[in-house]
Structure 1
Amino acid sequence: MTTTRFAPSPTGYIHVGNLRTALFNYMIARKAGGTFILRLDDTDPERSKQEYADAIQEDLEWLGLTWDRIERQSARLDRYEEAAQTLRDKGRFYEAFETPTELDLKRKKLLNMGRPPVYDRAALDLSDEQKAALRAERGNGVWRFKLDHERIEWTDGILGDLSIDAASVSDPVLIRGDGQFLYTLASVCDDVDFGVTHVVRGSDHVTNTATQIQIIQALGGAVPAFAHHSLLTGPQGEALSKRLGTLSLRDLRAQGVEPMALLSLMARLGSSQPIELARDMDELLAGFDLSSFGAAPTKFDVNDLFPLTARVLHDLPLSAVADDVAALGVPADKAEAFWNVVRENITVKADMAAWWDLFANGAPALVDDADREFVAQALDLLPAPPYAADSWANWTAAVKDATGRKGKGLFMPLRKAVTGRERGPEMADVLPLLQVKPQL
């Protein structure tokens, strides 16, 4: 069975970069009728917070990305210790004691010699007595996985055939000196135990994948199908990482972005397929093709979400926004007419408030000096509300007869006087919603 996972760390809020990873893994699982796992990578007890774990789940539920089960790495520490012992027993795990300063000096020396800054495995030459002395002096060392120095090859679902020489990569640290299990060991152990068949993540993980393939094999697990999507940049190609703090899903939600607008953009951004607004998840899944995505950095502009959001709202029936409309104070008998008038004239739901304020309390008249006398005369000809479907036609006909104005010279000043705007819905639909008579 196809099994995928989304593995955020509950150390902050999910942002658009995380969402891309979540969505791809979700859609692969759902298209195959498989299992989608939400895995919280919470092995760092100081930075991991329950409030962020709750927020991650809320954000995914808002988008409709439901998971089949949830796993927490903090509940699996004993299992990681078992995996570590397996690697020790196989001679693939060794303790190293270099300080950060010593490692930095080694890296600089290798770079000065024109060689890759790869760890020299000096710890493998330490005797038991030397290790004991270092432990007494420095405390426990870190544990490194001993890579087999051979080429690691796989066919990536997006990047194609990849090959990395393990000799060009440092033996990865899997356990810190304080005993904390690092991402690489915990993630591999989980993927093996949970039967994960497909892993999609950012292209910054390519080297991690190479080392993880060897660790999976050392633990006797099946290697998943890996795919690495491009990283997002800003609209001008600038690094997005510095702005991700302002592009969390809850920030976008607070700005009024609709879930299907966000999902539709993320499901196509960076692919050879055009971005199209999907009506629902089934339509989104039907058009998803992982092989259509490219390796080049992908430009993301938050402003692209708002035209899509406007289109989502345009297509919604009243039933989908009834609570929002009622919360504005719109009478039940006016709700349908109100929504039909405003839905083509808003970008986000919050824009409805200004429209209802206009209908309920009137708008400051927008009147050109040349039209002021004309508008005053026209408003004198307008009776008090309530207004009916034919009120606009009757009023403008009366104004035309009284003033001789016609066409744009008649209708535009009246629209601006009534709504305070130069554009908007049909005035025949607006007038019946007015609760007060427009004033100069």
Structure 2
Amino acid sequence: MSVAVRFAPSPTGFLHVGNARAALVNWLLARSRGGSLLLRLDDTDTERSEERYAAAILEDLAWLGLDWDRFARQSDRLPSYRAAFDRLKARDLVYPCYETPDELALKRKSQLARHRPPVYDRAALALTPAERRALEAAGRPPHWRFRLADEAVAWDDLVHGRLSFAGGHVSDPVVLRADGQPIYTFASVVDDLELGITHVVRGDDHIANTPVHIQIWRALGGDPAGPAFAHLPLLAGGQGEKLSKRQGSLSLRSLREEGVEAMAVASLLARLGTADPVEPAAGLATLVAGFDLARFGRSPPHFEVEELWQVNARVLHLLPYEAVADRLTALGLAGAGADFWEAVRPNLARLGDAADWWRVCRGPLAPVIDEPGFAAAAAALLPPEPWTPETWKGWTQAVAAATGRKGKLLFQPLRQALTGRDHGPEMRNLLPLLGRERALRRLAGETA
């Protein structure tokens, strides 16, 4: 079966890692099955949708490395929703309602007080044509609800297994607002049907919408078998808090600005919620090869920022020089070649840290010298250039023989004098990058 999936964000805020996980899983499913991904912007909420967020969604997905095969905006498809609504209306499957939001809230409150489910009571069905005309004349345009069949709806969820909702336990959904705008649930079903979506992979906060989705799908002439559904448990923050796009919780934009690698985000999100260990991936193709939707469990996974930074460092340690050359130049590290990258790569938590080690190699840097006599003795034994990674070993052996020092008492003062640091990349790799002249000046206590 050809797989067609969709990622359908609303342009009402910046994408956070929870949104990114949904996008990534859909992308991985499509690519692992030779299928297609539709990027659909659900922008019918004109009050909250903003073009800057729409542009940011495309930018963030591109940064993450995710592409799409088709693109659609719900705002461009309003005639399709109207045509679908008219088909339902012709079959008497929708009906007008006139309650205000306050009146509906009062009904729900009353039902809950009587320990009854807050399901719409279908009072609007009892209105006579004259009563409806009177309400509209009084300035109450109707919103329209879809009449659900009083029957159980069940499906085999690809994450949660067999799920079933009894008839009468779900309110007839609003499909058209009083201003004529389609509601998300209705528009989404029309899109999935007309754009050929075979698998709906989304958060499990949409489970309650699925019986409605299935009934509208069938009413519009969709295959009774419907699309396959997979509802992923929602990603929570490190303390179990809900992630919010409107609040900017762990947005991709903020993570990118902090120096997180896209592949670190993808590597972590691809495994969260599965029993598989999180491994840094060199590229998305690696994640595609190991993807299996059946690996995702039913428990909400927590997104730990500390774990992301651990993965970020491991991703950097995998990157070859060719993958970062242009980015090093963009950081202002002109001349930082493959030898520099290989030297400092194991000590980076983020790419921007490379700038600190470039300053160590090129200065100016104030050395740390507690024993000037020892530093001078070591300087006198520095061999002539050219230097290689083996120079450090030969030089320190000579210093050890001349001073009787070994271990930390030998290596630590030399590192501090040459780099101003107590720790860092292997000195065998850093020493050739410093050069003899700079090393001599630092061993003499000069800023160089």
Verify the 8 A CA contact 2:154 2:162 in the aligned structure 1.
yes
Residue 302 in structure 1 maps to residue 301 in structure 2: no
Shift of 1:53: 1.5
1:169-222: per-residue Cα shift (whole Å, max 9, x none)?
A: 111111111222110111000001011100010010001111111111111113
Shift of 1:342: 0.8
Shift of 1:377: 3.0
Q: Could you say what secondary structure the match of 2:85 adopts? A: helix
What 5-or-longer segments of structure 1 have no aligned partner? none
1:363-403: per-residue Cα shift (whole Å, max 9, x none)?
A: 33345xxx434455346537699772255345434543553
In structure 2, how many angstroms separate the alpha carbons of the residues matched to 1:243 and 1:143? 28
Verify the 8 A CA contact 1:159 1:227 in the aligned structure 2.
yes
Shift of 1:344: 0.8
Match for 1:350: what amino acid?
G
Residues 91-106 of structure 1 aligned to structure 2 (within 5 Å): 91-106=92-107
Residue 314 in structure 1 maps to residue 314 in structure 2: no
Aligned length: 436
1:115–1:50 distance in 2 versus 1, CA, 3 Å: same
In structure 1, how many angstroms separate the alpha carbons of the residues matched to 2:104 and 2:86? 26
TM-score normalised by the chain length of structure 1: 0.93
Match for 2:313: what amino acid?
A
In the alignment, which residue of structure 2 is the partner of 1:16? 17
1:111-166: per-residue Cα shift (whole Å, max 9, x none)?
A: 12121111111001111111111112233121111111111111101000000123
In the alignment, which residue of structure 1 is the partner of 2:344? 342
In structure 2, how many angstroms separate the alpha carbons of the residues matched to 1:361 and 1:384? 21
Match for 1:277: what amino acid?
P
In structure 2, how many angstroms separate the alpha carbons of the residues matched to 1:8 and 1:227? 17
Q: Could you say what secondary structure the match of 2:144 adopts? A: strand
1:108–1:329 distance in 2 versus 1, CA, 3 Å: closer
In the alignment, which residue of structure 2 is the partner of 1:113? 114
Given candidates 251, 258, 261, the residue that maps to 2:261 is 258
Residues 125-274 of structure 1 aligned to structure 2 (within 5 Å): 125-222=126-223, 223-241=226-244, 245-274=248-277
Verify the 8 A CA contact 2:44 2:182 in the aligned structure 1.
yes
Residue 433 in structure 1 maps to residue 433 in structure 2: yes
Residue 377 in structure 1 maps to residue 364 in structure 2: no
1:130–1:328 distance in 2 versus 1, CA, 3 Å: closer
1:382–1:81 distance in 2 versus 1, CA, 3 Å: farther
In the alignment, which residue of structure 2 is the partner of 1:352? 354
TM-score normalised by the chain length of structure 2: 0.91
Verify the 8 A CA contact 2:375 2:414 in the aligned structure 1.
no
Q: Cα RMSD between the aligned structures? A: 2.2
Shift of 1:62: 1.6
Shift of 1:274: 2.2
Residue identity (%): 52
Verify the 8 A CA contact 2:16 2:244 in the aligned structure 1.
no
Verify the 8 A CA contact 1:362 1:418 in the aligned structure 2.
no
In structure 2, how many angstroms separate the alpha carbons of the residues matched to 1:99 and 1:61? 42
1:22–1:91 distance in 2 versus 1, CA, 3 Å: same
In structure 2, how many angstroms separate the alpha carbons of the residues matched to 1:166 and 1:249? 40
In the alignment, which residue of structure 1 is the partner of 2:392? 392
Verify the 8 A CA contact 2:14 2:246 in the aligned structure 1.
no
Shift of 1:259: 2.0
In structure 2, how many angstroms separate the alpha carbons of the residues matched to 1:329 and 1:101? 59
In structure 1, how many angstroms separate the alpha carbons of the residues matched to 2:281 and 2:63? 16
1:237–1:374 distance in 2 versus 1, CA, 3 Å: farther
Q: Could you say what secondary structure the match of 2:145 adopts? A: strand
Residue 415 in structure 1 maps to residue 415 in structure 2: yes
1:301-338: per-residue Cα shift (whole Å, max 9, x none)?
A: 02212222222221222111111233455454x51211
1:278–1:330 distance in 2 versus 1, CA, 3 Å: closer
What 5-or-longer segments of structure 2 have no aligned partner? none
In structure 2, how many angstroms separate the alpha carbons of the residues matched to 1:114 and 1:50? 43
Match for 1:392: what amino acid?
W
In structure 2, how many angstroms separate the alpha carbons of the residues matched to 1:164 and 1:359? 66
1:259-286: per-residue Cα shift (whole Å, max 9, x none)?
A: 2221121111111222222333232122
In structure 2, how many angstroms separate the alpha carbons of the residues matched to 1:362 and 1:415? 16
In structure 1, how many angstroms separate the alpha carbons of the residues matched to 2:432 and 2:408? 22
Q: Could you say what secondary structure the match of 1:132 adopts? A: helix
1:207–1:341 distance in 2 versus 1, CA, 3 Å: same
1:331–1:138 distance in 2 versus 1, CA, 3 Å: closer
1:125–1:134 distance in 2 versus 1, CA, 3 Å: same
Comparing 253-262 with 59-68, greater Cα deviation is found at: 253-262
